[in-house]
Structure 1
């Protein structure tokens, strides 16, 4: 982030400490380009909702959730409606945890406060006090706070949602229509004329180009569309309707089956 808080890709320098924090506001609709860095990153927003894209998987992060991104993993980060982002970079050689894959993390009140504290000038000022610089046989205020952060990292066991887009123009016509309106309940035979392909051809293209049947692909798109609504606190009954499920129980069942936990627990503290 830039000094004035505008969105700017934060590239951490070589690290001599455990954690480096950057802070700034992302405007609505802003996305960083795909990038990677050797440090681990904890992607988190103290306000608003952040999203992280890794491959075909997407994680949606309100303030109650963060994402551990291992060093060397290509990703892009952005927001639909604006967010106060924290860029938290962790030196691999100093970290006592070892999440080897992108991992969703719970952010309770204490971890939230620690992230805000470490991103502020207060943590550095505490380290610069004369009593903090004395050799007291411990790591100093900042390192002790960072150690508590590691103690509080609590993974949420979920499967990321998302699906790749097909590349064939015929299947892509169908895919784009459903991304625009996940509640569109047309079957493949109803897309045949628009896509200039038979239902059998469209089904074959989805399986060949996305690795999923059309039904599986549509479910992933619907669940991905539901995450920002869930993060925003919309009632499950309204979310179900917005993304194409006839009942809230059908949406909850699909979410639990594909993601591993219920929608209510996904973002709960």
Structure 2
């Protein structure tokens, strides 16, 4: 990875092929994960984000995370010194990458005089706009039979079998499995499967596939049903998650996620 900059911000660039992942790691500095091209994904604990070039993820210093490429990506590593950075978000935040922020980041990736770099960095920090969305969370159950169900659902999110039918396939009763998902995942199986389907939909949405196609591939009979489920879980419709400007909150908000 090449890097440049001596001020509050350090930038680097790396081509990451589809399917490649960095193992879990953390940085002593803040990071803005952004792909100038392609689609990247970030996993933090049980939360998962998929980021086309219109979105980036602010990862505070010291937060363990995994980064990978959903599609061939030109990954930009944007690192900020906590001692010099005015952004104080305590939790990961999705950030809107509009034309101005994109041009500033590309501008900073060049060889700039120190004073010019400092001015550009100050503008970057000033224009960071968080997008008020909830992360998609898909915990893994500990019960081995529930894990077998998890594997089937993740392999085919469009599988319409109910928990009783899935239970017969893994040798467990519907009640046993229902209790396992609530105990291990802290949510009902229905809620868990919705989250799993929405996570599976993110790369498809990032590729720009038609909404009806995405809905059918992840188990929804209609696009409207999928959009309604996405809005309930994430807080915005799928189109706004990736492209349209959504409501933002204070830049120094400490609200979770």
TM-score with structure 2 setting the length: 0.91
Alignment of structure 1 residues 123-202 onto 2, 5 Å: 124=111, 126-127=112-113, 140-202=115-177
By relative contact order (CA 8 Å, sep 6+), the higher-ranking structure is: 2
Question: Could you tell me which residue of structure 1 aligns to residue 8 of structure 2?
Answer: 18
SS of alignment partner, residue 37 of structure 1: coil
Aligned counterparts of 2:32 and 2:105: Cα–Cα separation in 1: 10
Q: Residues of 2 paired with 1:101 and 1:165: CA distance? A: 22
1:95 Cα shift?
1.0
Indicate yes or no: 2:190 matched with 1:215. Answer: yes
| C-alpha separation in 1, matches of 2:42 and 2:223 | 26
**Bigger radius of gyration among the two:** 1
| Cα deviation 1:81-119 (Å, max 9, x = unaligned) | 221000110001111121111000000111111111212
User: What RMSD, in angstroms, separates the aligned Cα atoms of the two structures?
Assistant: 1.6
SS at match of 2:21: coil
Which residue is 1:261 aligned to?
236
Structure 1, unaligned runs of 5 or more: 4-9, 129-139
1:237 matched residue in structure 2: 212
Please state how far the C-alpha of 1:225 moved relative to its aligned partner: 0.7
In structure 2, runs of 5+ residues without a counterpart are: 245-257
> In the aligned structure 2, how far is the partner of 1:166 from the partner of 1:148?
44
The structure with more strand, counted as a fraction of residues: 2
Asked if structure 2 preserves the Cα contact closer than 8 Å seen for 1:86 and 1:119, the reply is no
CA distance in 2, matches of 1:47, 1:180: 27
Q: 2:247 matched to which residue of 1?
A: none
Is 2:239 aligned against 1:248?
A: no
SS at match of 2:90: coil
Q: Does the residue aligned with 1:185 lie in a helix, a strand or coil?
A: coil
What are the residue-to-residue correspondences of 1:17-96 with 2, within 5 Å? 17-96=7-86
User: How many residues get paired?
Assistant: 244
Deviation at 1:79, TM superposition (A): 1.0
Moved more, 203-212 or 43-52: 203-212
* SS state at 1:193 partner: helix
Return the offset for 1:167. Answer: 2.2
Q: Is the 8 A contact 1:51 1:78 kept in 2?
A: yes
Q: Summarize deviations over 1:201-246 as a string: whole Å, max 9, x none.
A: 1111111111110000000000111111111111111111111011
Q: Residue 226 in 1 paired to residue 212 in 2?
A: no
Question: Does the CA contact (< 8 Å) of 2:30 and 2:59 recur in 1?
Answer: yes
Q: Is the 8 A contact 1:104 1:156 kept in 2?
A: yes
TM-score by length of 1: 0.87
Kept after mapping to 1: 8 A contact 2:7/2:117: no
